[in-house]
Chains A and B, each alone.
Chain A
């Protein structure tokens, strides 16, 4: 799975399932939890999505606002663990 596919899937997921606004213009480096766009429930949702879609298990101590706040961070983490 290449980077652009991962990025697109994560973007779709964030817009549909987390922000619930498919028309939202999400920046790659926009902090979505820290800005109040989504809440901390969604961190766990990201963990589930990563496991189900990419087969990547992100351990709980790494599912934090600091490490998962932007699309860039999420993409990097998925790609790292997929190797």
Chain B
């Protein structure tokens, strides 16, 4: 198994266990209304080689960028590895769902194809034809792959510093930033991270995470496949509607590890029916790792309370702080030990930017210590390092960072000493990292990055809304364990029917453009929104105003 000790025995990702021969299980795909599909190493490696040959026949060359926007997980996985095998650069991309507007989706994808010089897109047959008409590159569907002949290809002899694949950060504004990761960097991350979570050959990873998200791609896909640890996979759409599927998978396949964004804890705690969890034995879980969203202690407690009868224990909870730019994990708590809770004075935290421990303070959940090979520090606005318990900007430096933003020489992620500015704020205490929030106005809703500007841009186009007079912001929700999205827009009309139309339009247009659900839509009269002195909408101030009016409403 790959670890920091055995790191030298791996050169590229093609040394992965999933490409070796044998009957060990690689992946088992489970679904609510279908039988599980299991592939062994023999199956998987065979399919990868076959697909690589097909890609070669399509004219894909080493170093070509291919986008995989496939609905089928198993096909996506094979295509990804086939591209690696060939030396092409794969990148997973969100699929077109029923909710999204196909034209907007195609437009975004087309931008990406143009900017990054994408050679081919692999998409599900349902919309491959549609995309073909819209994109400047070749589009292949699964029916194309079924029929296409294959040739024998040799695995590409990559150098460790060669780019292996790209990760795209989510959100339309972030779409153009393709995080290019090299073989060496990814292997460093997998080695260090496996050590940090004490990965062993009895582990079984269970995941519903989408493969285009860094958590799903690294922890829920590459980690098990490279390490030869069995992966039990399900579709995120299936899981969201039937959350008990995750728990059943754990019980039936003796799962030991999984990674979840914070909202998933609440979703599981609130929305798994009694009947579905009765008698499910979760005692074999070694760690449930909270990642990709600010961690809330309340969510952890809800999960443990709900499933205590199923042998879920608090020491199964763990936390990780991760980002695509570091391949994945930067810090990790020790598995088998509850994450440290730091109770701090809220006022001092917000005003003086200091984390002063007090007994009845607000609980901050630790993200753990930095993993081997990585460093983390907290700096002030002038990039000067701060001492412990001072809140500032979090910076990261490591041996598993991105090579660059793909084909974006204008974007320089690193500072002079190679430190990467994460955009998050937090503090260090006793060697452990605590993340407080984001520097910018980013909303993190259900583990997804949502840029308020994108939402506002859509709303401004809606008839009846005053252009430029809409604001979107995040509202932390305790029951959901994440930020919900609230929108306030100025309108002229007083008419109830008109309001209803506008509200409906807001929700559906935003959903179709960004695949995001607005939870609160408030229409206000002209002049309600607070502006800054330069005439821009002040998001934070409007948020506070809206929140205070909400409290008045619920108490009134």
Contact = CB atoms under 8 A, between A and B. Distances in A.
Interface of A: 20-21, 24-25, 34-41, 43-45, 47-48, 51, 57, 60-61, 63-65
Contact of A60 (B244, B270, B507, B520): B244
The 7 A-B residue pairs with the shortest CB-CB distance, nearest first, are A36-B511, A44-B271, A39-B517, A60-B242, A36-B508, A61-B33, A43-B241
B243 A37 contact: no
A40 B237 contact: yes
Nearest to A51: B273
B267 interface: yes
Given A48-B270, A48-B273, A60-B32, A35 B242 contact: no
B267 A20 contact: no
Contact of B241 (A36, A48, A51, A63): A63
Contacts of B446: 41
Contacts of B510: 36
B240 interface: yes
Contacts of A44: 240-243, 267, 271-272
Most chain A Cβ neighbours within 10 Å, of B32, B98, B271, B508: B271
Nearest to B480: A41
Nearest to A63: B241
Interface residues of B, number: 33
B271 A48 contact: yes
Contacts, number: 69
A63 B241 CA distance: 7
B500 interface: yes
B99 interface: yes
B146 to A, nearest CB: 27
B275 A40 contact: no
A24 B497 CA distance: 10
B512 interface: yes
A43 B270 CA distance: 12
B512 A36 contact: yes
Contacts of B243: 44
Q: Decide if the interface of chain A is mainly helix, strand, loop or mixed.
A: loop
A38 B242 CA distance: 16
A25 B495 CA distance: 13
A45 B519 CA distance: 15
A45 B276 CA distance: 13
Contacts of A21: 503, 520-521
Given A36-B508, A38-B517, A39-B517, A60 B271 contact: no
B273 to A, nearest CB: 5
Contact of A64 (B241, B267, B500): B241
Contacts of B500: 24-25
A73 to B, nearest CB: 15
A36 B519 CA distance: 10
Contacts of B507: 35-37
A51 B271 CA distance: 11
Given A35-B504, A36-B99, A57 B517 contact: no
Interface in B91-149: 98-99
A21 B496 CA distance: 14
A1 B414 CA distance: 65
A59 B492 CA distance: 46
B504 A45 contact: no
B274 interface: yes
A41 to B, nearest CB: 6
28 contacts: A20-B519, A21-B520, A21-B521, A25-B496, A34-B98, A36-B508, A36-B510, A36-B511, A36-B512, A39-B517, A40-B237, A41-B240, A41-B241, A41-B446, A44-B242, A44-B243, A44-B272, A45-B271, A47-B271, A48-B273, A51-B273, A51-B275, A57-B273, A60-B241, A60-B242, A60-B244, A60-B276, A65-B98
Contacts of B240: 39-41, 43-44
A1 to B, nearest CB: 19
Contacts of B508: 35-37
B245 interface: yes
B483 to A, nearest CB: 14
Contacts of A60: 32-33, 241-242, 244-245, 276
A60 B507 CA distance: 27
Nearest to B268: A44
Nearest to B486: A20
A43 B237 CA distance: 11
Contacts of B237: 40
Given A35-B507, A37-B508, A48-B272, 10 more contacts: A21-B503, A21-B520, A21-B521, A37-B507, A44-B242, A44-B243, A44-B267, A48-B270, A57-B275, A61-B32
Given A44-B243, A64-B241, A24 B271 contact: no
Nearest to A32: B507
Given A36-B508, A37-B504, A61-B32, A45 B270 contact: yes
B125 to A, nearest CB: 21
A44 to B, nearest CB: 4
A69 to B, nearest CB: 12
A20 B244 CA distance: 25
Contacts of A34: 98
A40 B238 CA distance: 9
A57 B242 CA distance: 13
Contacts of B496: 25
Nearest to B32: A60
B12 to A, nearest CB: 38
Interface in B515-531: 517, 519-521
Nearest to A41: B240
A22 to B, nearest CB: 10
Nearest to B512: A36
Given A40-B237, A51-B273, A60-B33, A24 B503 contact: yes
